[in-house]
Amino acid sequence: MRHEIPSKEFFKNNREKFTAKLEKNSIAYFYSGEEQLRNGDVHYDHRVDNSFFYLTGIEEQNCKLLICPEYDRYKLALFIPDSNPERAIWEGAVITKEEAKEISGIETVMNLSDFDSQFARVQSEVDSLYVKLNGARKNHSVTSGFNFVDWVRYNYPALNFKKSRPILAQLRTSKQEEEINLMRKAIEITNKGFREVIAECKPNIYEFDLQATFSYVFTKNRSMRYGYSPIIAGGKNAATLHYVDNNEKLKDGELLLMDVGAEYGNYTADITRVIPVNGKFNSRQRMLYQGLLDIEKEVVAFVKPGILLKDLQDLTVRLTTEFLKEVGLIKEDKEVKKYYMHNVSHFLGLSVHDIGVYNEPLPPGAIITIEPGIYIPEEGIGLRIEDDVLVTETGFDNLSKDIPKEVDEIEMLMAK
């Protein structure tokens, strides 16, 4: 098996929690996603929709889930692609009904070709339909979720729409033990990648050489994809927050920022480290880096249940402002945004910027990032240090504490 996934009991419990929050006389619909065309007849690798996976464990494309708690014939129905022997010759067999039942714990599994007729029957007995729309933005192509909504509006205009995202955000804010274990594994694999890259880094190689090392280490450890596009940014490139070209030569005397996370079991790590390309921080680099590291440690130590993400942001801004004044980069508090302009934290899980309840106190089980930064483009310096932190009953557990970030440890590893 390519990677582990949670047990079918995990998915069953998620469905029960979700269903319990639905209003009466309603049903819910989820879709696993479809293959996306890259160019010609070549498609991108399929990555299952997060919420569909969270509720079923199925990773196959073109699968649908109906949750219909008041329907007399069944309460759940999973629809999988019809068997196609000719396509199986080229692309392999699709998931079987027996396999789908075993993974998901859902007993009613039907062919996808049966969906339209089944939906017609189920919807006739309810008033509302919960749907998950995947955050379409201006100039983005229409997603399959919106296509389904249009289809329903045309065929069943009396049906009211409700958003499933708020329910899912509430459920996914706090991670369960099986999820935490998968995220520990993703972080462990990411650690292996960072240690290989730190040892390999030297002047005059390219950013993409180090990306290739990450890719090799991740694949060897059963992580078949990154959780997001990796950032391998030398020198001035690190002052661009989401630099992903990764195609320039690393220069002697520069710093290298790497923001990388392995995905395992559909859960992702999100780690950032900064190292000196030649293996030694110069005095200014060391001073700036150590200052940021001290800020990062203080913010991590502040994590505990009951605080808001805003509290972490306020603390980070205050500490960063004090440090930038101390080193002479700013004089007024308001100038801090010139060198630090992003949030310090976000939820982490099935997505790198995972859904969750962002304006309520953090509960035990939440996994968040802590990632302060200082960016000085006029000096060709971009610094960000990022760890993945679990909120516990009494405080925090830094899940990525074993990934090197101390100055002496980094220099020692690079000297070997």
Q: What is the pLDDT of residues 200-236, one digit of tens each?
A: 999 999 999 999 999 999 999 999 999 999 999 999 9
Q: Which two tokens stand for residue 223?
A: 């992580």
> How far apart are alpha carbons 39 and 404 in whole angstroms?
40
Which of the 8 DSSP states describes residue 205? S
Rg (CA), the chain: 24
Give the pLDDT confidence score for residue 41 in this predicted structure. 86
Residue 377 lies in a domain: yes
Residue 21 lies in a domain: yes
Residue 263 lies in a domain: yes
User: What's the CATH code of the domain at 221?
Assistant: 3.90.230.10
Which of the 8 DSSP states describes residue 22? S
The verdict on 130 and 224 lying in the same domain is no
Give the pLDDT confidence score for residue 98 in this predicted structure. 97
The verdict on 88 and 199 lying in the same domain is no
Q: What is the mean pLDDT of residues 390-401?
A: 99
Bridge-partner residues for 376, per DSSP?
381
Average pLDDT, the chain: 95
Q: What is the mean pLDDT of residues 260-278?
A: 99
Q: What is the mean pLDDT of residues 143-160?
A: 86
Residue 59 lies in a domain: yes
Provide, rounded to the nearest whole percent, the portion of the chain with pLDDT above 90. 90
The verdict on 394 and 270 lying in the same domain is yes
The verdict on 273 and 330 lying in the same domain is yes
Residue 1 lies in a domain: no
Neighbouring CB atoms inside 10 A of 337's CB total 13
Query: Minimal CA–CA distance to 51: which of 30, 20, 33, 23?
Result: 30
pLDDT level of residue 137 (50, 70, 90 thresholds) = very low
Bridge-partner residues for 80, per DSSP?
111
- What's the number of domains the chain is made of? 2
Provide, rounded to the nearest whole percent, the portion of the chain with pLDDT above 70. 96
Residue 283 lies in a domain: yes
Q: What is the DSSP string of 305-339?
A: TT--HHHHHHHHHHHHHHHHHHTTS-SSGGGGGGT
pTM: 0.95
The verdict on 269 and 393 lying in the same domain is yes
Q: What is the mean pLDDT of residues 13-17?
A: 98
Show which of 151, 172, 193 is a domain's final residue.
172
Range of the domain at 263: 174-415
Q: What is the mean pLDDT of residues 262-276?
A: 99
The verdict on 243 and 159 lying in the same domain is no
Which of the 8 DSSP states describes residue 257? E
Question: Which residues make Cβ contacts (< 8 Å) with residue 160, sequence separation at least 6?
Answer: 127, 128, 129
> How far apart are alpha carbons 368 and 397 in whole angstroms?
11
The verdict on 57 and 200 lying in the same domain is no
Q: Which two tokens stand for residue 74?
A: 């069944």
Residues composing the chain: 416
The verdict on 130 and 194 lying in the same domain is no
Question: Which residues make Cβ contacts (< 8 Å) with residue 26, sequence separation at least 6?
Answer: 126, 127, 128, 129, 130, 162
Give the pLDDT confidence score for residue 43 in this predicted structure. 87
> How far apart are alpha carbons 151 and 158 in whole angstroms?
13
- Listed in order, strand segments (DSSP E) in 58-157 are 64-67, 76-80, 109-111, 128-131
Give the pLDDT confidence score for residue 86 in this predicted structure. 81
User: What's the CATH code of the domain at 35?
Assistant: 3.40.350.10
Packing angle between helix 8-20 and helix 97-104, nearest 10 degrees? 70
Residue 130 lies in a domain: yes
Show which of 141, 172, 203 is a domain's final residue.
172
Show which of 172, 195, 218 is a domain's final residue.
172
The verdict on 261 and 118 lying in the same domain is no
Q: How far apart are the first and last CA of the chain?
A: 36
Query: Minimal CA–CA distance to 414: which of 147, 108, 197?
Result: 197
The verdict on 136 and 36 lying in the same domain is yes
In one-letter notation, the amino acid at residue 235 is G
Token look-up 């009953």 returns 393
The verdict on 361 and 297 lying in the same domain is yes
> How far apart are alpha carbons 148 and 155 in whole angstroms?
11
Q: What is the mean pLDDT of residues 234-249?
A: 97
The verdict on 252 and 353 lying in the same domain is yes
Residue 378 lies in a domain: yes
| 323: phi then psi, degrees, rounded to nearest 5 | -70, -45
